[in-house]
Structure 1
């Protein structure tokens, strides 16, 4: 039998009739360990532990005071900002008679020239003005009582301001580097090699992702699914082996996920090798999520005279462009697609390169959801813990935020399978919902996607199926129920293990 290498590109059409098919590539992995909010504040703002706690307490009160004063001052309100030196909220006022009102509310009054409404009008004028790529951003800075224009040069910023016809005296200029958008790397997603060959991502690793060697040679550039510059093949081996890894640039963020092509993701918890006969599924950009069983290991495959050793054989189908894509057994990474015969209409045989061999060959570290059986508290907003109310560990019990107290109601076990457990039950998104506001609860452990969670290096506790964060509803305090919500980066969605 002849097998086909499964890349996908017009210039490689001839390769599609070769024995064996290569399908896929892998994502990058984070190297920064997760830290809690207080530790991060101490590290990044130069605070002591006590200063961090005091600052967070004052900042928690600030939104309430701001809302009150905005209503009281109306059009005379001139913005609000937290003033670290004073440890309290500062509020801009345009008349001295409003200063007493601000002080009575517990904030510091600052006399300024422009109201918030006037500043918003200035920004609106900038919004209506055409900007070239040398002008990066513009916004209202209430503390400076002006609008800020960020650009590559003073000349570019001044031209933009002049075109808007607003008073230059109301503008503050900042000169710097252009911002860039950031993208996720996910197993099974498409990437492009040398501008013309399509393959699929395998798994995230530290510094990049792993993929099939026949997809590209060392030094080949890659583009992401969106045709944005992604990285370069740092190593590649084909034939004999069929593996490679791509070192990615700073615009791409690795995730321990694989695309299930059903609107969700499968969490990668580890890389324990499954047995012959075990069920297995693969993800690829051409034919999506396909499953079968492991038929044989350590298979030598002859791709039209090019021998590859040590592959695993399956009866899951694949087609051109699926090369390099991720193979999963449960939540364990298995390998990246190499090649095969047949197709997903009539069925076929597909081979993959075991992932542990790739990791060992290049000294790479697989990006996973973490775990390992350890138990810890999950600490977040206001230094409080995720809690099972009244230690009542029953299915359907909604989780809440509560003062950390060291009881079993706040002890969470991370077994390494993507679940987080207490009282023998799993943290769960009610009804498997992907909507904002869905309750975070306990449920009998089933391993379904609603019970998979990833605590990222940024402190987001994410359900990959919904790609949403565990959220303290309405920024409440002790006793507030937890919900699922679109990730905003807010402090009410930041968590750490402690």
Structure 2
């Protein structure tokens, strides 16, 4: 094991008329969005998921169904808004129990087309492109001169506040970190916080597996690479070449690739004794069938499955977050308010039945609540040429 690995580590404490014609009136979905899924493939949410959302998000069953449906539509719409609003695009997010879609733009002339589509328009000062560029600059500085976790524990693009947020226990030190990047101060907002994220150490998503017969993590999602089956998980769980056994301690597979820090992802190739399935372990030992990996927008509900604490739900707070762990900075993770504990690492995050990512780390626990970060699944699939197993 390299120094980066500390298994069992405890959690630290967007011409109005022209654009309007591109959108489907009343649905908030760009005409360029991907085709609608076959009936039932994405809209029929298992009752156990609805029950968990009612419990953790304070929703009625009807509100949970409406929310998931609207979140899926918002996810379908996002690529079209991004393309057709162009350089003025400032992100999308959903709010409230019914997941009402908001589209940000820096061009007032575009707001009419947005509202005509059924979404809410918000005119802001910075495009998403500008915000992403600012965060990239912070990432470069962190790579050259890694900050301490007290200087900057994490930073992310916050589309709702139209800023890049830097979270720090030492705001003055955080400002020096920001100044070193050359980023426009008007784009960045410092939030004082004592949060100290750390990795959560620890073929159905959410089930336990063991690394080199000792440390425990959780399976993310079943995948294939050609004819080779396996699963994706967190990079901090193991190095390339490390062996795994399953929840039953039966020989399972070998880490084929692993990235940590900078990112936090890995994939394990399994032996012939293990068959990939599109399943994630849900509440009360039920299973959820994964149907795809469409990214859910900020504000969407998201649920997590892990081998320590099981099934818990919350919402997506921000995408494109950089977080500082003791081992180094992790880029491009998504921040949520779903709780987790050690051993849940690598486990599955789903929104409805869409795979979102694998658990990286966080703070707090499932007794008092916490913050967690997941590595989005689509970049993992792309990095290793993997295909997500779906049902």
Q: What TM-score results when the alignment is normalised by the length of structure 2?
A: 0.50
Please say which structure displays the higher CA radius of gyration.
1
Larger RCO (alpha carbons 8 Å, 6+ apart): 2
Q: What TM-score results when the alignment is normalised by the length of structure 1?
A: 0.39
